[in-house]
């Protein structure tokens, strides 16, 4: 195993050993991961009910099988196309993507990305805990007759959160090893689910569209689907930072695309398929699934909830711990991961016991899309146009090391071109979004079709490219 040295401390990245490395630069010679690990992490992390539920949502919107499939596939493809290239930042910078974004937003301005990562990671970790906890409680109730009330749910959520936190605390090597087990085990269990529910499948859908007509509802499903790949944009670098540049861009890009798009598509389609096999759709997809499942498939559902939920949860919890450590220089990754674990479980209880779960997930997804897409686009254009795929890893660590100046200092640590473009895109996204909890004043700009995702990305791209043309960054901007 390769050894990473920080001062006088040697850290070996291997399963079962607590990772001490945070967001500090990992030298090229000390990187011991491969593109295959990147693919396994994100494919395995997607085999969870917290991702499957995004296939269930279009059916609750009123869509049928083929309309849900096309909407989900298009949304996932668009999201992956602009997200996967950000996996290339890790091998070039030796750090995670939010720190690497300092090359575009400024060494202090990269806190925008850290805040977004925390929001995404905590929200999706909460969904992982919620869906897996539901599977645990509903499955145990049907198999063993245990209670399925709010008290049981609270205990189930706490148990799942504890499992996720423990694996995330161990860090990179343990997370990779876990996902390599999750992929074949949960993959087979999901295939068995197709067999279990196939006799009850009906492709029609309810046609009781959540928005005014088919096309606005279909566009909403596209936008919701795109949230999956976008949510991984900041965390791709958590794993690609340990991959040597000698593996080449094509292999890293292919691995990121396979893990993100392949895993999301497989589980989203499973969610849509099984949702169309259920007689009634309530507020808990997993609860409905357990109730409708043949007896022999209840235990597999329970195992998917446990294994898949932990796989997805640790992906987000590990990312949230890294980014809180990046926000607070000097903080230990282990400590920040504990803090974010507590925040995630608090979100679960709020979303489940205080708010409507379906409305909360949809609203959260659309709002985060509107502010995340501009950030992803600015980083992508910064990578391709402004920095031309070349970075200075030393200057990227200025904020973490308490230094001022350097290549990415810009204006007191902020690149106003990038920050302004992100703010403009985010503002449009928030003004154009439509949810059951909030509707922006520009929501009817296209006759009810949701433009928050596409519009926010296009506005950010236009503002950033114009700013670069009028006010070039230069070599040391």
Q: 């967001």: which residue's tokens?
A: 23
Answer whether 237's CB lies under 8 Å from 315's CB. Answer: no
For residues 360 and 333, what is the distance between their CA atoms, to the nearest angstrom? 29
For residues 423 and 374, what is the distance between their CA atoms, to the nearest angstrom? 8
Q: Evaluate the CA torsion angle 28, 118, 401, 329 in order and state its sign.
A: negative
pLDDT, position 237: 95
State the CB neighbour count (10 A cutoff) for residue 28.
Answer: 12
pLDDT, position 474: 66
Per-residue pLDDT of the chain (477 residues; tens, 9 = 90+): 344 444 333 345 788 888 887 889 999 988 989 999 999 999 999 999 989 989 999 999 999 999 999 999 999 999 999 999 999 999 999 999 999 999 999 999 999 998 888 887 877 787 788 888 889 999 999 999 999 888 888 888 888 888 888 999 999 999 999 999 999 999 999 999 999 999 999 998 888 898 888 998 999 899 889 988 998 998 999 999 999 999 999 999 999 999 999 999 999 999 999 999 998 877 788 889 999 999 999 999 999 999 988 888 899 889 888 888 888 877 888 888 888 888 877 777 776 655 555 556 666 777 788 899 999 999 999 999 999 999 999 999 999 888 999 999 999 999 999 999 999 999 999 898 877 667 889 887 877 777 888 899 999 999 999 999 999 986 544
pLDDT, position 9: 38
State the CB neighbour count (10 A cutoff) for residue 380.
Answer: 23
pLDDT, position 459: 97
Tell me the whole-structure pTM to 2 decimals.
0.90
Measured CA angle at 263 (ends 209, 432), to 5 deg: 40
pLDDT, position 347: 73
Structure-block tokens of residue 418: 């990038």
For residues 369 and 118, what is the distance between their CA atoms, to the nearest angstrom? 14
Q: Domain 3-366 class?
A: mainly alpha
pLDDT, position 444: 79
């Amino acid at each position: 195993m390769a050894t990473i040295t920080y001062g006088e401390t040697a850290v070996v990245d291997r399963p079962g050993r607590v990772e001490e490395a945070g967001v500090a630069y990992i030298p090229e010679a000390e990187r011991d991961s491969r593109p295959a690990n990147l693919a396994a992490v994100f494919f395995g992390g997607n085999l969870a009910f917290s991702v499957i539920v995004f296939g269930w949502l279009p059916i609750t919107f009123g869509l049928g099988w083929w309309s849900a499939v096309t909407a989900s596939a298009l949304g996932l493809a668009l999201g992956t196309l602009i997200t996967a290239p950000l996996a290339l930042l890790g091998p070039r910078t030796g750090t995670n993507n939010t720190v690497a974004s300092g090359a575009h937003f400024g060494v202090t301005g990269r806190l925008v990305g850290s805040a977004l990562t925390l929001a995404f990671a905590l929200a999706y970790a909460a969904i992982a805990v919620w869906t897996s906890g539901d599977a645990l409680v509903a499955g145990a109730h049907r198999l063993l007759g245990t209670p399925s009330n709010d008290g049981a749910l609270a205990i189930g959520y706490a148990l799942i959160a504890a499992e996720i936190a423990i694996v995330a605390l161990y860090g990179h090597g343990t997370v990779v090893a876990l996902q390599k087990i999750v992929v074949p085990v949960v993959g087979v269990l999901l295939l068995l689910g197709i067999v279990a529910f196939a006799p009850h499948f009906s492709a029609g859908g309810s046609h009781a569209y959540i928005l005014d007509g088919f096309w606005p509802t279909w566009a909403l499903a596209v936008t919701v689907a795109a949230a999956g790949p976008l949510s991984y944009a900041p965390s791709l670098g958590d794993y690609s930072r340990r991959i040597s540049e000698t593996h080449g861009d094509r292999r890293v890009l292919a691995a990121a695309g396979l893990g993100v798009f392949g895993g999301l598509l497989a589980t989203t389609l499973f969610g849509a398929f099984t949702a169309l096999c259920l007689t009634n759709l309530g507020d808990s997809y997993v609860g409905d699934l357990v109730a409708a499942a043949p007896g022999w498939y209840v235990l597999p559902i329970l195992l998917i909830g446990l294994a898949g939920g932990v796989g997805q949860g640790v992906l987000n919890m590990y990312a949230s711990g890294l980014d809180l450590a990046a926000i607070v220089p000097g903080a230990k990754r282990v400590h920040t991961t504990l803090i974010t674990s507590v925040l995630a479980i608090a979100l679960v209880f709020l979303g489940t016991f205080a708010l409507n779960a379906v409305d909360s997930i949809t609203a959260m997804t659309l709002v985060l899309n509107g502010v995340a897409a501009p950030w992803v686009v600015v980083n992508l254009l910064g990578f391709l146009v402004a920095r031309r795929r070349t970075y200075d890893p030393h200057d990227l660590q200025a904020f973490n090391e308490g230094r001022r100046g350097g290549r990415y200092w810009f204006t007191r640590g902020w690149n106003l071109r990038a920050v302004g473009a992100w703010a403009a895109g985010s503002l449009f996204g928030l003004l154009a979004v439509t949810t059951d909890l909030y509707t922006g004043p520009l929501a009817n700009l296209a006759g009810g079709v949701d433009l928050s995702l596409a519009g926010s990305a296009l506005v950010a791209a236009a503002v950033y490219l114009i700013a670069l043309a009028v006010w070039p960054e230069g070599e040391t901007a």
